[in-house]
Structure 1
């Protein structure tokens, strides 16, 4: 089993570096569909269902960006959701994940008629870290990349 430090060191001198990094990024992204399902399930299970909020949040788009350079090498998940068509505040998925949701005060929709409501935190962050497939995919991808580099 190789380490990421070895891989980064060996990639510097390897002439087909782009080919190896593309294959590595593709292998690390393999668990993303499973993580998407888990995040959507968690949103439906933990966020309020009244008014369709949990269902609305569960339809967010989730993308994965793989970074293979520097000390911050890893996978970064991003969730996005378009805002509502009326004058509601911008959707802040990070704040929802932390457990706070902007809600209208008793049905009023003016700019100053909003308050924050507490919800169960972690609908996005918990499922994305619970998946053991991330570690397995990363270790397998690094080992495969090191094998390609060492074979030449």
Structure 2
């Protein structure tokens, strides 16, 4: 089983690295649709239905950020959503806190914080074994190609 550190070390010297990196990124992103579905399902099931917060959050755009250089090398899932006032704080919502206006009021003083069920984003991503398996398989395939020299 390969590691990301070994791949980064070996890929720098490899002539066909562009193609290997392209294939690696493709294989790592393969389970992304099932991860998106799991996050959507968790948001719909666990977040408040009144006011439509669960539906609004379930439409969060989820992307995979893959870095293969430097100390920050790895795979990270990123989710975000725009709201009326700008970018929404999905990390805070995932930690179990949401800010919302009091019903019928839209002034700056009428907003309040509310506790919600935490983990709508992080828990489904950790539960998807398919994701972990695909990443490890992609690393092993890339290392094999580099070691074979093609």
Q: How does 1:67-78 map to 2 (within 5 A)?
A: 67-78=67-78
Q: TM-score, normalised by structure 2?
A: 0.92
Change (3 A) 1:53 1:136: same
1:44 aligns with 2:44: yes
Give 1:124 shift: 0.7
Give 1:133 shift: 1.5
Q: Gapped runs of 5+ residues in structure 2?
A: none
1:53 aligns with 2:53: yes
Corresponding residue for residue 30 of structure 1: 30
Q: Gapped runs of 5+ residues in structure 1?
A: none
Q: 3-state DSSP class of the match of 1:78? A: strand
Equivalent pair of 2:81/2:87 in contact (CA under 8 Å): no
Give 1:129 shift: 1.4
Corresponding residue for residue 133 of structure 1: 130
Change (3 A) 1:39 1:14: same
Moved over 4 A (4+): none
Per-residue CA deviations over 1:46-99 (Å, capped at 9, x if unaligned) read: 100001111111111111111112233221111121203xxx675211111111
Change (3 A) 1:89 1:118: farther
Equivalent pair of 1:27/1:138 in contact (CA under 8 Å): yes
Q: 3-state DSSP class of the match of 2:2? A: coil
Distance in 1, matches of 2:27 and 2:20, equals 11
Distance in 1, matches of 2:6 and 2:87, equals 43
Kindly tell me the number of residue pairs found equivalent between the two proteins: 149
Q: TM-score, normalised by structure 1?
A: 0.90
Q: 3-state DSSP class of the match of 2:136? A: helix
RMSD (Å), alpha carbons = 1.5
Equivalent pair of 2:80/2:87 in contact (CA under 8 Å): no
Change (3 A) 1:49 1:57: same
